[in-house]
């Protein structure tokens, strides 16, 4: 168990916990990437994962929708992750459905080489939705929620690949929320975007958190402090400190956290 265990009180039974991670250990082959992680992600909040490269933050993010299942030789060796109380590593869990409930936006925008409309409708079509009225309505709502509608409403049938990088990333967010997930995971969603596009994505996260629970992996400390409600700091596979973002960036409890966020690490 982590030496910092005592500063993470258990909230798993509280109604506002969307994702409960309990004593989670994860291995890449024989290498332990996550060590006894205990963490509760609250509903309709934005939680930022920060820490140096290789600390395990992206690994943990990918555990929350079992994306690591696709990597040979990896496995959860201990512990559990519950989304809305359901153990997502239980054998009965449908992984495809899980990934609808826990959507993901990646560092590099990855629209399909199809029209803007088809990109957003993709998840619904996969679910078997064929009603054109329903599809039109969800595409419009999702694009509006992603603050992209005004920019693309007159060219929905054009290729998504013709959009700018920032627009493509917002399209990926629209595609993710079109299937109404519970949780949206974001792995460095703005690292390839200019400041204007970054601000638009951050504005989106802020506006959308009333409907979704967000987890954002970022190397940008200012971004973490701007968009997140709570922040988790990881180091060498361990969760070092988890607290309100304002506290982490104004008065962290642990020196290791302070050294990292203030650029004294190394």
**Chain contacts with another protein (rule: CB under 8 A):** 221-222, 225, 249-252, 258-259, 261-266
Cα dist. 159→108, 111, 123, 143, 257 in Å? 17, 9, 17, 15, 44
Decide whether 212 or 235 has the Cβ nearer to another protein. 235
Residue 182 or 221 with smaller CB distance to another protein: 221
Pick the closer one to another protein by CB: 11 or 256. 256
Separation between Cα atoms, residue 222 and residue 199, nearest integer Å = 12
Residue 161 or 236: the one with the smaller Cβ distance to another protein is 236
> Is the torsion defined by CA of 228, 229, 233, 234 positive or negative?
negative
Token pair of 182 as six digits: 């519970």
Q: Is the dihedral of CA 62, 67, 69, 74 positive or negative?
A: negative
Q: How far is the CB of 257 from another protein (least distance, A)?
A: 8
CB of 215 to another protein, least distance (A): 21
Identify which of residues 25 and 221 has a Cβ nearer to another protein in the complex: 221
Measured from the CB atom, the residue of 167 and 225 that comes closer to another protein is 225
CB of 254 to another protein, least distance (A): 11
Task: Give the residue with the Cβ less far from another protein, 13 or 251.
Answer: 251
> CA-CA distance, 153 to 134, in Å (whole number)?
17
- Edge-first strand order for the sheet with 31-42 is 31-42, 17-28, 74-83, 86-87
Task: Determine how β-strand 213-217 pairs with β-strand 183-187.
Answer: parallel
**Minimal distance in Å, beta carbon 232 to another protein?**
16
CB of 233 to another protein, least distance (A): 12
CB of 219 to another protein, least distance (A): 13
Q: Which of 48, 49, 21 is nearest to 35 (CA)?
A: 21
**Tokens linked to 31:** 């290498």
Q: State in angstroms the smallest separation of the CB of 259 from another protein.
A: 6
Q: Are residues 231 and 242 in contact, defined by beta-carbon separation less than 8 angstroms?
A: yes
């Amino acid at each position: 168990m982590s030496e910092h265990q005592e500063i993470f009180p258990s909230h798993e039974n509280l109604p506002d916990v969307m994702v409960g991670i309990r004593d989670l250990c994860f291995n890449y082959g024989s290498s332990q990437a996550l060590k006894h992680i205990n963490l509760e992600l609250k509903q309709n909040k934005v939680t930022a994962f920060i820490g140096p490269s290789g600390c395990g933050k992206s690994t943990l993010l990918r555990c929350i929708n079992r994306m690591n299942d696709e990597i040979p030789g990896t496995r959860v060796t201990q512990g559990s992750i519950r989304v809305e109380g359901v153990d997502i590593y239980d054998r009965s869990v449908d992984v495809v459905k899980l990934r609808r409930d826990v959507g993901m936006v990646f560092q590099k925008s990855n629209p399909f080489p199809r029209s803007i409309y088809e990109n957003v409708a993709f998840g619904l079509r996969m679910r078997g939705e064929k009603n054109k009225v329903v599809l039109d309505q969800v595409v419009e709502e999702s694009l509006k929620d992603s603050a992209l509608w005004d920019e693309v409403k007159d060219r929905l049938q054009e290729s998504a690949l013709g959009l700018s990088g920032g627009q493509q990333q917002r399209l990926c967010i629209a595609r993710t929320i079109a299937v109404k997930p519970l949780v949206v995971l974001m792995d460095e969603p703005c690292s390839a975007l200019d400041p204007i596009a970054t601000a638009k994505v951050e504005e989106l996260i802020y506006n959308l958190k009333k409907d979704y629970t967000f987890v954002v992996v970022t190397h940008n400390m200012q971004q973490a402090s701007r968009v997140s409600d709570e922040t988790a700091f990881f180091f060498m596979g361990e969760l070092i400190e988890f607290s309100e973002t304002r506290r982490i960036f104004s008065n962290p409890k642990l020196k290791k956290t302070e050294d990292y966020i203030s650029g004294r690490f190394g």
